[in-house]
């Protein structure tokens, strides 16, 4: 695990998602590294507005470092994330502090070797957590250099 990522996670509150169908879980990664489990589970409902969840997160963690774990349908090495096409996570991320770490959780088949198109509203992830048969591969994307400056 990268020292910047590990350092951040040791002191961060974890916000995550409940995996649906083929989405890999990240909880075994947290426990394998002796990290705290998820403190806040993002509801798996399109009925809940991401703006409301963002406000609740800001109210719950006003002073905390937070790592937001999120699924996607495709990711690239530069941190571009494509979801289910509705922009829910993109909207959520515009309503939480920019200093919070963004972690994309994926299986190897969702990692694109080619760069993905990043639209103006697409919110990149800082770290890719790739579920492999023997554990997880951690890839820092460098998508948001300000995050790395904040973490040092």
Q: Is 139 left (phi over 0), alpha (psi -120 to 50) or beta?
A: beta
Higher pLDDT, residue 145 or 141:
141
Residue with tokens 């996670």, as numbered in its chain: 9
- The CATH homologous superfamily for domain 3-151 is NagB/RpiA/CoA transferase-like (3.40.50.10420)
**One-character DSSP codes across the chain:** --HHHHHHHHTPEEEEE---TTPPP-HHHHHHTT----SEEEP--TTS-HHHHHHHHHHH-SS--EEEEE--SEEETT--EE-SSS-HHHHHHTTS-TTSEEEEEE-GGGEESSPPP--TTPPPPSEEEEEETTEEEEEE--S-HHHHHHH-
Distance CA 135, CA 28 (A): 9
Q: Strand 66-70 relative to strand 74-76: parallel, antiparallel, unpaired?
A: unpaired
pLDDT tens for 16-41 read 998 988 899 999 999 998 998 999 99
> Quick one: tokens of 47?
């009925």
Question: What is the pTM for the complete model shown?
Answer: 0.92
pLDDT tens for 29-88 read 999 989 989 999 998 887 899 999 999 999 999 988 999 999 999 999 999 999 987 899
Mean pLDDT of 107-127: 95
Domain boundaries along the sequence of the chain: 3-151
Residue 147 pLDDT > 90: no
Q: What is the mean pLDDT of the chain?
A: 90
Distance CA 126, CA 5 (A): 9
From residue 109, alpha-carbon distances to 21, 46, 96 in Å are: 15, 25, 29
């Amino acid at each position: 695990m990268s020292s910047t990522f590990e350092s951040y996670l040791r002191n961060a509150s974890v916000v995550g998602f409940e995996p649906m169908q083929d989405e890999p879980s990240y909880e075994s990664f947290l426990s394998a590294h002796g990290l705290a489990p998820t403190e806040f589970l993002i509801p798996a409902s399109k009925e809940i507005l991401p703006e409301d969840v963002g406000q609740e997160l800001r109210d719950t963690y006003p002073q905390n470092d937070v790592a937001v774990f999120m699924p996607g349908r495709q990711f690239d090495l530069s941190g571009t994330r494509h979801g289910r096409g509705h922009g829910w996570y993109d909207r959520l991320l515009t309503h939480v502090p920019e200093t919070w770490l963004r972690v994309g959780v994926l299986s190897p088949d969702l990692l694109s070797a080619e760069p993905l198109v990043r639209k103006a509203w697409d919110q990149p992830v800082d770290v890719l957590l790739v579920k492999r048969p023997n554990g997880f591969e951690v890839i820092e994307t460098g998508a948001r250099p300000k995050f790395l400056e904040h973490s040092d």
